[in-house]
Amino acid sequence: MKRLILLCIGMFWLMLGVKAQPATHVDWQRDLDSLACWLPRLHYNFFTVRSREDFEKGIENWKHQGNNGLSDLQMALKLQQWIATFGDLHTNLNFVPLLDRNRLLPLGLKWMDDGLYIVTAPVGKEGMLDCRLMELNGTPIEVVADSLGTLFSADNEAVRKSMVPNYLCFVQLLEHFGFVPDGKVMFKLASADGNMQLHELTPGSVNPQNLVSFRPEGVALCYRNARTLFSVHYEAADSLLYVQYNKCWSRELEEEYGNREQASRLPSFAALEDSVFATLRHRPVSRLVWDVRFNGGGNSIPGTRLAEKLAGFMHQQDVPPRVYVVLGAATFSSAILNALDFKRLLGACWVGEETSGKPNHLGEVRSFTLPTSGLQVQYSTKYFKNVDEEMNTLVPDVKIPMTFDDFRQGIDPVYEWIKKQ
């Protein structure tokens, strides 16, 4: 159970494995020259939102101002805020190496439809669990979220919901926006019964053994299988075949593109296909569910081929199963492409919440390194156009948000709705 809840923490846990490597004697003039030279040259088209002229003027302004007494981290954060205004979520100045992993807030946060909730807290602070975050040092959490949101390019609200909970754990980011002036962090929380609480946390290094996690009354099927690449579940009572596809990756893809020695540890997509078609042929199935609400992408080809095979199978059936695709805020990249495949080939009904990914998008990310800070700049090298209409998100045919009360009770409202159709 504890590991299940820790999935919600995202980039916070990445930081535990990243050694801060603060640059010394950074020549920002040289780094700005490098940024000005290489980013427009290597990026597929960096100027879809703002012009090349804006970029060149911005570079000159930065060079004229210099770091102006700013620390390297402050300079990097301000540059990243500026880069984000050009509108490509995949293009970033990676400032993480400048962050101090000894100045973290030991929290796990989950942003649901009804607010931002604490699901992991330090031992001795169990009272923070299951509470909604209202204020940070007297500032409404919505204001804090808006400020943190300037550190990345957000095409839609789902991106913001996915990213902000991760950034809130970094005290240095909160200091950058003036929310933590003296190193103290006081949270105002609303408990499940509506009472308000105040809790102060001291930033520091984080030991997972010193954390405690919220234990819901039950665990919905989608969370039970959240750590696996994919899984297949048949619900006989409801004639429902449920495929949870958490990552567009598999043993076969690892063998072809990754580490062959590690490939055998991963589940086989061919085995998933065999299981799906064996169930369709030998058991009554009235509803087929393809759940990509937690899927951030990978390689779309296996999912596309499966949709094509399913379409061929369905055409041979007198009464084919109804097909549903579950979407969520974490649905991104190749998972978006597969959702489109299932809609186009199988007439699937999209259910759930709006996605952070959008159908037409920049991607195929690569990077180059700035010469004196050593910081990496990620950039997009391709544009993927999958639909004629420009959309900032996939909007479900049936919107079914998940609240924290659903999570608390172990209920998946999307799954429950599909069962009734």
Residues 123 and 212: beta-carbon distance below 8 Å: yes
Identify whether 282 is part of a domain: yes
Q: Are residues 323 and 279 in the same domain?
A: yes
Q: Are residues 225 and 298 in the same domain?
A: yes
Q: Are residues 261 and 409 in the same domain?
A: yes
Identify whether 383 is part of a domain: no
**Average pLDDT value for residue range 273-291:** 98
Statement: residue 153 has pLDDT above 80:
yes
Terminal CA-to-CA distance of the chain, rounded, Å? 31
Query: Rounded to an integer, what distance in angstroms lies between the CA atom of residue 355 and that of residue 357?
Result: 5
Instruction: Place 66 in a pLDDT band, splitting at 50, 70 and 90.
Output: confident
CATH number for the domain including 145?
2.30.42.10
Instruction: Place 162 in a pLDDT band, splitting at 50, 70 and 90.
Output: confident
**Cα-based distances in Å from 150 to 47, 101, 172, 176, 195:** 18, 22, 15, 12, 32
CA nearest to 96, candidates 10, 25, 29: 10
CATH number for the domain including 323?
3.90.226.10
Instruction: Place 154 in a pLDDT band, splitting at 50, 70 and 90.
Output: confident
Identify whether 42 is part of a domain: yes
Identify whether 8 is part of a domain: no
Statement: residue 23 has pLDDT above 80:
no
Identify whether 64 is part of a domain: yes
Q: Are residues 76 and 114 in the same domain?
A: no
Q: Are residues 256 and 237 in the same domain?
A: yes
Q: Are residues 237 and 108 in the same domain?
A: no
Q: Are residues 207 and 349 in the same domain?
A: no
Instruction: Please give the tally of structural domains in the chain.
Output: 3
Instruction: Place 20 in a pLDDT band, splitting at 50, 70 and 90.
Output: very low
CA nearest to 39, candidates 375, 373, 363, 368: 368
For tokens 């048949």, what's the residue?
A: 234
- Of 213, 231, 265, the domain-final residue: 213
- Of 213, 238, 261, the domain-final residue: 213
Query: Rounded to an integer, what distance in angstroms lies between the CA atom of residue 19 and that of residue 4?
Result: 25
- Of 98, 129, 150, the domain-final residue: 98
Query: Rounded to an integer, what distance in angstroms lies between the CA atom of residue 402 and that of residue 220?
Result: 11
Residue 349 pairs with which residues in a beta bridge?
324
Q: Are residues 293 and 348 in the same domain?
A: yes
Q: Are residues 94 and 106 in the same domain?
A: no
- The share of the chain scoring above pLDDT 90, in percent, equals 83
Return mean pLDDT, the chain.
92
Identify whether 53 is part of a domain: yes
210 contact partners, CB below 8 Å, separation of at least 6: 106, 122, 123
Tell me what pLDDT residue 17 has. 45
| 124 Rama class: left (phi>0) / alpha (psi -120 to 50) / beta | left
Taking CB atoms within 8 Å and a gap of at least 24, the contacts of 37-42 are 38/368, 38/377, 39/91, 39/377, 39/379, 42/366, 42/368, 42/379, 42/381
Query: Rounded to an integer, what distance in angstroms lies between the CA atom of residue 246 and that of residue 44?
Result: 28
- The share of the chain scoring above pLDDT 70, in percent, equals 94
Residues 123 and 413: beta-carbon distance below 8 Å: no
**Average pLDDT value for residue range 235-257:** 97
**Average pLDDT value for residue range 173-199:** 96
Residues 110 and 407: beta-carbon distance below 8 Å: yes
The residue among 85 and 156 whose pLDDT is bigger is 85
Q: Are residues 203 and 238 in the same domain?
A: no
Tens of pLDDT, residue by residue over 396-417, are: 999 999 999 999 999 999 999 9
Statement: residue 14 has pLDDT above 60:
no
Tens of pLDDT, residue by residue over 343-397, are: 999 999 999 999 998 899 888 899 999 999 999 999 999 998 888 988 899 999 9
CA nearest to 105, candidates 17, 180, 12: 12
Identify whether 373 is part of a domain: no
Amino acid present at 332: F
Q: Are residues 165 and 257 in the same domain?
A: no
Burial class (CB in 10 A: 0-12, 13-18, 19+), 372: middle
Which 8-state DSSP code applies to residue 404?
Answer: H
Report CA torsion sign: 391, 396, 399, 404. negative
CA nearest to 295, candidates 270, 329, 254: 329
Residue 206 pairs with which residues in a beta bridge?
none
The residue among 127 and 67 whose pLDDT is bigger is 127
Statement: residue 212 has pLDDT above 70:
yes
Instruction: Place 120 in a pLDDT band, splitting at 50, 70 and 90.
Output: very high
Tell me what pLDDT residue 24 has. 58
Domain span including residue 82: 28-98
Q: Are residues 228 and 340 in the same domain?
A: yes
Query: Rounded to an integer, what distance in angstroms lies between the CA atom of residue 66 and that of residue 371?
Result: 16
Identify whether 304 is part of a domain: yes
